[in-house]
Structure 1
Amino acid sequence: MKQAATASLLAFTAGFVDTAGFIALFGLFTAHVTGNFVLIGASLADFHPGILGKLLALPVFILAVAFARIYVLGREKRGHDGAGGLLVAELVFLSAFLAAGVAAAPFTDADAPLTILTGQLAVVAMAVQNAASRTVFAKLSPTTVMTGNVTQIVIDAVDLLGGASAGAEIKARLKKMAPPVVTFALGAMAGALGYVALGFWCIAAPITSVVLIFFLRRGAASA
């Protein structure tokens, strides 16, 4: 139950930050960074602002994932779990994203240094979550990119309706994957509505989600 709640909260966070960042920062994808390649390609046909920030997003993302992995490996060598440290790092960068956005908004120049910096802070936060999803939270369903989840859900649903022999296994996988897809979608909608209503202050919502995960982990450890 707590694992499902953790995955759902992380998915909500990713959907929220990706959508709010996309709206606020001239179409920058922060969680699904490869989506920026589409926008860069589109700019070759019709210029779109903010290309520099989109170009920087991938190397920044890669470096953040690399450092997160090095941190986790170091913790594992000492016999410790790296999840807490990664969650702290995500909180720090989400908070910095909020602070930079509130201080600098409204953004009028997609290629201004402060606009780019604000976007990269969110990219780092989501890179840390992506790294956590593949390492310390590997047992959970993916929480940042939903394409694979949706594909598997459809395949499993078809197999289940067709009377597949591994029915129990399929149902368990559906139960694992469906909630993050739903909460990612809810996070995306909340991110859009939240930014329109509150501006960058809306990032307090995904920050709260990560804080809730701390309480879930503490409860699991003490149980």
Structure 2
Amino acid sequence: MSTEPSRNTGALLSFLAGYADTVGFVGLGGLFTAHVTGNFVLLGYALVGPVQGIVPKLLAFPVFVLAIAATRLLIGRWQQQGNPALSYAMALQAALLASAAAAAWLGGPVTAPDTPAALACGMLCVAAMAAQNAYGKLLLPQLPATTVMTGNVTQLVIAMTDARGGNWPPAAGNVLAGVLGFAAGAGCGAWLAHRSLPLAMLSAGALPLLLAWRMRHAA
């Protein structure tokens, strides 16, 4: 079996990003965990109006940056040691999401986004999604971006427009799978975050763990 990441890998990681972003937004007072653009918008709005839970939005960017740097260093070390860097990076992401679930569970019901439990849960989830951003760029360059869909939607619409003449590029299938996966993840994340934040975070961690196991045992 080839260890080359498949279209399913990109779609599943996109699902995870949409899921985690929506879980954070619904369960943690509007916190975007998979990308920083949304948090910048909320911070800008805070200059002219009240924004609930401004502290996690302020912390999200430095945590995101530090987590990317740490993931980069770890991937470099794993590669030097001859270890399966992609499997290890996905397992790291799963561990961070499981820790976020533990923080939400141990802290009891999250009633405000700037409580200690909510901050711990949110920043661990931000770190987990920063890891996905990092290993996606470093180890999965052949796949479309899995955490930010703006460029993917643009590429998809261009491909669909060009396909009027029967010129549908093969790579567009990967982009379409990612966009659909992200949308499905957002819907599932919203549904479960309304019911149980710890369970939603724990469920998120199961997906990269499964992918890490699959990558590790592929031969």
Identify whether the pair has TM-score above 0.5, normalized to the shorter chain.
Answer: yes
Give the counterpart letter for 2:6 in structure 1. Q
Higher normalized helix content (fraction of residues): 1
Aligned mate of 2:138, from 135, 139, 145: 135
Q: 2:80 is matched with which residue?
A: 77
Query: Structure 1 runs of 4+ off > 4 angstroms?
Result: none
Aligned mate of 1:152, from 140, 155, 172: 155
Q: 2:16 is matched with which residue?
A: 13
For residue 136 of structure 1, report the CA deviation from its aligned partner.
Answer: 1.1
Report 1:183-202 matches (<5 A).
183-202=181-200
For residue 11 of structure 1, report the CA deviation from its aligned partner.
Answer: 1.0
Give the counterpart letter for 2:72 in structure 1. R
RMSD (Å), alpha carbons: 1.8
Q: 1:181 is matched with which residue?
A: 179
Going from structure 1 to structure 2, the CA distance change for 1:139 and 1:2 (only over 3 Å counts) comes to closer
Q: 2:122 aligned with 1:124, yes or no?
A: no
Count of residue pairs brought into register by the alignment? 216
Task: Extract unaligned runs of 5+ from structure 2.
Answer: none
For residue 86 of structure 1, report the CA deviation from its aligned partner.
Answer: 0.7
Q: 1:209 is matched with which residue?
A: 207
For residue 97 of structure 1, report the CA deviation from its aligned partner.
Answer: 0.7
Distance in 2, Cα, partners of 1:80 & 1:114? 34
Give the counterpart letter for 1:201 in structure 2. L
For residue 80 of structure 1, report the CA deviation from its aligned partner.
Answer: 4.0
1:170-211 deviations in whole A, cap 9, x for unaligned?
431111111111111101000000112333212233222212
Distance in 2, Cα, partners of 1:76 & 1:204? 28
Distance in 2, Cα, partners of 1:98 & 1:133? 23
Task: Extract unaligned runs of 5+ from structure 1.
Answer: none
The alignment partner of 2:189 has SS state of helix
Q: 2:31 is matched with which residue?
A: 28
Distance in 2, Cα, partners of 1:77 & 1:218? 17
1:60-82 deviations in whole A, cap 9, x for unaligned?
10011011111222233344441
Going from structure 1 to structure 2, the CA distance change for 1:218 and 1:94 (only over 3 Å counts) comes to same
Report if aligned partners of 1:93, 1:122 keep a CA contact under 8 Å in 2.
yes
Identical aligned residues as a percent: 38
Report if aligned partners of 2:68, 2:131 keep a CA contact under 8 Å in 1.
yes
